[in-house]
Amino acid sequence: MKHHPDPATLLEYASGTLSTPFSILVSAHIETCHESKQIVKVGEEIGGDYIDNIEPNEEQTIDYSAFLKKLDSNELKNKNKKHKYNYDRKSVIPSVLQPYIGQNFNNIDWSFLAFGIKKYQVNIDNDPSNSLTLLKIKPKKKIPAHGHTGREMTLVLQGSFDDEHGSYAAGDIAEHDGVETHQPIVSSDEDCICIISTEGPLIFNNYLANKLQSLIRI
């Protein structure tokens, strides 16, 4: 595994300030990445030490003792309690993604996006604005060159792809900001399956692709 989320992104994840779609991708990545998992662990320890050592002052309006009690309360635990799910530990699909896309890529209800490209929209908590996009791309297929209106994070689940910034295989994360442009091309002999989260719509260099943006929903 060569490519990891930016350390700042991992610290956002550790502090709980990263949005849900991005958090799901980071969580899937660290299931098999010891290096990123260690950065998250350090971030969580630093955050815990910070809270433990906060000294109250006259201007402080937050009741930290009440906050810490709430963290241990049954009310909060029940609120965050995960639904029971029968995970398949042998599946190549990370366990955190299985409740959303299942345990086998062949059982996904793929829809046509473009020649050589299929997609599956993953809605989180039935909120279309809070979603992930799963792509299945044929070998040697190119994604149209594009830029971004915000952060884009791509987790490779199967196969591999190359772009101007490197080569990405299963488990790798490609993270791009609103300034970078790139054109991914599948480099593996098998289909490349990846899952993507974006903060805003992509900006394609191709005129037709931009016109179809409302249908593409990436």
pLDDT band at 148 (very low <50, low <70, confident <90, very high): low
Nearest C-alpha neighbor of 144 from the set 116, 171, 120: 116
Task: List, in order of start, the domains of the chain with CATH numbers.
Answer: 7-79 (1.10.10.1320), 98-216 (2.60.120.10)
Torsion of CA 40, 42, 47, 48, to 10 degrees: 110
Secondary-structure breakdown of the chain: helix, strand, coil percentages, each rounded to the nearest 5: 30, 25, 40
Lowest-confidence region among 15-19, 160-164, 198-202, 210-214: 210-214
Phi, psi torsion values for 10, nearest 5 degrees: -65, -35
Both structure tokens of 89: 């530990």
CB atoms within 10 A of CB 21: 21
CB proximity list for 82: less than 8 A, separation 6 or greater: none
User: How does pLDDT run across 66-83, given as a tens digit for each residue?
Assistant: 444 444 444 434 434 445
Q: Tell me the C-alpha distance between 155 and 176, whole Å.
A: 12
12 residue type, one letter: E
